[in-house]
Amino acid sequence: MALAAGSLFLTGAGCGSGSIREVVDSSYRFEREDRSREGVSRIYRSDLPPSRTAADIAARLEPGDRRLTESGVFLRYANDFVGVVPDGRGGSRVFLDDERRGYAHFYPFVGGWWGSYSGRAEGFRGGGPGAGK
């Protein structure tokens, strides 16, 4: 049973254990899977706005990097990617992807900002100015 979104911060703050998949799966309502040739996104729902939802997730398990834009909050983990975007009703949609699928899906917001967890952005995208030199 998922925790109530409002109690997430208090019950999970600072625990820092487990995987991001366990954190999201146990804390938010699962809506559906979105399949594409890049992989599968698991999509969840939060009653809280994106900034608060992302803060709650990050408090439970610290991301390696985060990006805040007008369109949402994006959290990068070693093998996973979390995108938290407005749902149009005052809450959030939480996208849980593996690292490559998340980067491809949310490239307009994170492209050039970060690459893969283990390398520079230009290495992940197949090169850029000065790549290979």
Q: Please measure the distance between the N-terminal and C-terminal CA atoms of the chain and give it in whole angstroms.
A: 52
Q: How far is CA 55 from CA 60, 62, 120, 121, in A?
A: 9, 10, 25, 24
For residue 24, the model assigns a pLDDT of: 97
SS3 call for 45: strand
Tens-digit pLDDT string for the chain (133 aa): 333 433 333 333 344 557 999 999 999 999 999 887 777 889 999 999 999 999 999 999 999 989 998 999 999 998 999 999 999 999 999 999 988 888 888 888 887 776 555 544 444 444 445 444 4
Q: Is the pTM of this model over 0.75?
A: no
Going along the chain from its start, the domains and CATH numbers come out as 5-111 (3.30.310)
For residue 133, the model assigns a pLDDT of: 41
Question: Which of these, 17, 8, 7, lies nearest to 61 by C-alpha position?
Answer: 17
Query: What one-character DSSP code corresponds to residue 19?
Result: -
For residue 115, the model assigns a pLDDT of: 55
What is the rounded CA–CA span in Å between residue 25 and residue 90? 21
Q: How far is CA 41 from CA 33, 59, 100, 104, 129, in A?
A: 6, 22, 11, 11, 31
SS3 call for 30: strand
For residue 120, the model assigns a pLDDT of: 44
Strands (E) across the chain are located at 29-36, 39-46, 65-69, 72-76, 80-86, 92-98
